[in-house]
Amino acid sequence: MNTKLSVLGAGSWGTALAILAARNGCQTLLWGHEAEHIANLKEQRQNQRYLPDLLFPETLAVTADLQQAVEFSDTLLLVVPSHAFDKTLENIKPFINDNLQIAWATKGFNHKNGVFLHESVENILSPQIPTAVISGPTFAQEVAANLPTALTIASLHNQFSSLLSSLLRNSRFRVYTSNDLIGVQVGGAVKNVLAIATGIADGLELGANTRAALITRGLTEITRLGVALGGQAETFMGLAGLGDLILTCTDNQSRNRRFGLALGKGGLASEIIAEIDQEVEGISAAKETHLLAKHYGIEMPIVEQIYQVLYQDLSPIKAVQNLLNREPKQEACS
């Protein structure tokens, strides 16, 4: 494989995707902004902080030099937290060329204005750049450990989708493609809010029935918003919708679920975040999703209660009571 890939973001997910591509024979360069962290990766040939005991393939190199990373390949894969997405685009702008293609595995909305991340690329770089989003039910540790996984690549550029698919897929990693750039991004962002909700419910020891209800009705809320924003309803029944929602809401590898669990047990948000020591994307996504729902007049009662818990000091148990005390209505799936 002659293709080169630059992965920007040396956290757990960025490292896992870089390992995956490198194992597949792709010359891969992993960039991180912390010079000391990158020095450790070079010396140890593993990401001991986030993915301990998983050695890097020979085809994976690392760097703290952003210009080197951008100029290494015409294909960039951004795996940075959503709050750093705009800044990363601004930082790479001086180094890009006319052949650049950008994909991202970041899940969330733009923190500044709530727009989609593909709109950030268009606004900061160029609307002519081919873009793609990678999303689905994926824990970094399992991908890096070569456990069977499937995800979705969404793009309006079929050639770019095919290229990314060829870089990532193998006998243990299946890739599906989609042209629903909006729906895939909505699913990836809002499922984190629902993971906080199910975590809270389990932290309160409300049982499996409650968890199942939150996941099911949460999927309805995601679908309502996604369709209103231009997504395709069927997307939310796929890997980037239901699949990612189930994974994030039911397994404690999810940072968002663990955050909710600790909240439900009475923990303080600031202390929980410090203990997790990685980005909990659902916190900001709750605010951004709340504002989008309000703007478009979309009913999202679970998201609304999580927003109030996180930003208006509503107690978790009161949020549950508010949901249970809503007026009876006919069940609708959209």
| Tens of pLDDT, residues 287-296 | 999 999 999 9
| Number of residues that make up the chain | 334
Site of tokens 């894969």: 77
Where a domain ends, among 134, 157, 179? Answer: 179
25 domain residue, yes or no: yes
Q: At what angle do helices 117-124 and 85-92 cross, to 10 degrees?
A: 30
331 domain residue, yes or no: no
Show the domain range for 300.
Answer: 183-324
Q: Is 191 a residue of the active site?
A: yes
Residues 118 and 15 in one domain: yes
Residues 21 and 159 in one domain: yes
Distance CA 277, CA 271 (A): 10
DSSP annotation of 47 reads B
**pLDDT value of position 333:** 67
**pLDDT value of position 82:** 93
Distance CA 138, CA 175 (A): 12
Residues 119 and 141 in one domain: yes
Residues 132 and 215 in one domain: no
Residues 65 and 187 in one domain: no
111 domain residue, yes or no: yes
Question: Do 171 and 223 form a contact (C-beta atoms < 8 A)?
Answer: no
**pLDDT value of position 254:** 96
CATH of the domain at 116: 3.40.50.720
Over the chain (334 residues), the average pLDDT of each successive run of 10 is: 90 97 97 96 96 96 98 97 95 96 95 90 96 98 97 97 97 98 97 97 96 96 97 98 98 97 96 93 95 95 97 95 83 69
Number of domains in the chain: 2
**pLDDT value of position 1:** 61
List the helix and strand counts (H, then E) for the chain: 15, 8
Residues 221 and 309 in one domain: yes
End-to-end CA distance of the chain: give it in Å, rounded.
44
329 domain residue, yes or no: no
Catalytic residue (choose from 42, 87, 191, 294): 191
Distance CA 194, CA 170 (A): 31
Residues 141 and 191 in one domain: no
330 domain residue, yes or no: no
Residues 143 and 22 in one domain: yes
291 domain residue, yes or no: yes
Where a domain ends, among 144, 179, 214? Answer: 179
Query: Could you report the per-residue pLDDT of 160-184, keeping only the tens digit for each?
Result: 999 999 999 999 999 999 999 999 9
Other CB atoms within a 10 A radius of the CB of residue 300 amount to 24
Distance CA 286, CA 311 (A): 9
Residues 163 and 204 in one domain: no
What pTM, to 2 d.p., does this model score? 0.94
Residues 81 and 159 in one domain: yes
CATH of the domain at 247: 1.10.1040.10
295 domain residue, yes or no: yes
Question: Do 28 and 56 form a contact (C-beta atoms < 8 A)?
Answer: no
Other CB atoms within a 10 A radius of the CB of residue 286 amount to 26
Where a domain ends, among 159, 179, 199? Answer: 179
Q: Do the bridges between strand 131-135 and strand 149-155 make them parallel or antiparallel, or are there none, so unpaired?
A: antiparallel
Residues 106 and 200 in one domain: no
Question: Do 51 and 15 form a contact (C-beta atoms < 8 A)?
Answer: yes
**HSE on the CB side for 308, CA within 13 Å?**
15
Residues 222 and 154 in one domain: no
